[in-house]
Amino acid sequence: MRKHILILTAGFLILSIFYAGLKTFADKGRSYYEETGEVVWDINTKDKIVALTFDDGPHPKYTAGVLDLLAKYEAKATFFVVGGNAEKYPELVLRTYTEGHELANHTYTHPFKISVTDLQEELRQTNEMIYSITGFYPVLFRPVGGNYNDKMINAAVKDGYKVVMWSWHQDTQDWKQPGVSKIVKKVLNGTKPGDVILFHDGGGNRTQTLKALEEILPTLKKEGYTFVTVSELIESKQQQEAVK
C-alpha cells in the first residue's frame, strides 16, 4: 500500500512540474503582449485611420497592381516582404520604398514551422536583402501564418523588432480566393478606426485581391478613412498616450 502511495505521489509531482513548465513556456496571450508593446494587433483610437498590410510579396504582377491602386487613391500601406522574393524582384522592393510605403520582414523562405535560431537567421537575411536594395532596415516582423510562441517573440524583440499581427476581424483570407464580394464585405462591414487589415500580394493568384481593393479603397476613403503605415499607426497611439 505504501509503495502505491509513493508511486502516486511521485506521479503527481512529475505532473505538477510538467504543467508548471507549460505555464512558464506557453503563449502569454494578447493582453500581455499588448501591455508590453512587443506585439501589435491594432490600436484603440477615434481617428479614422487604418493600416493596410500585404504579405508574401513582392510579385511582379500583383505587387505592381497593388502599388498602382494605392497611388491612385493616395494610400500608404505596409508590405511584409519575403526575402527570397525581394532577391528576385528588387525593382519592386525599391519602387515600394520610394513611393512612401513601409517595408517589413516576413522571413526569407516563408516557413510555417521554424526553430528560433533559424528564424533569427531568416530575419537577418531578409533585412540585409532589403537594406541592400533600399538602404533601409525594417523594424517590423510578422510571423508566417500568424504562428508564434513566446521564444519567437522574445528572440525577435531582442533583435530589435516589433511583432505585428492584424485585427482579428480583418483577416480577409484572400489567399483562399473566396470571391471578390466576400473580401469586400469582410473589410467594409468590419472596418473601424485603428484596424490593421490583412491582404496578400504574393504567394498565389491575387487577382481577387486587386479587384476587391478597387472597391475597398474608394469606399473607405469616401467614408473619411486615411490609410497609414503600421509604424504611423503605432506612432499615433503613442502620441495619444502622451497627451493623456
Residues designated catalytic: 55, 200
Strand-pair partners of 163: 39, 141
Grid cell at residue 148? 508564434
Cα separation of 143 and 110, whole Å? 9
Cα separation of 205 and 16, whole Å? 49
Closest CA to 41 of 127, 144, 162: 162
Give the number of other CB atoms < 10 A from CB of residue 35.
9
| Cis, bond preceding 218 (omega within 30 deg of 0) | no
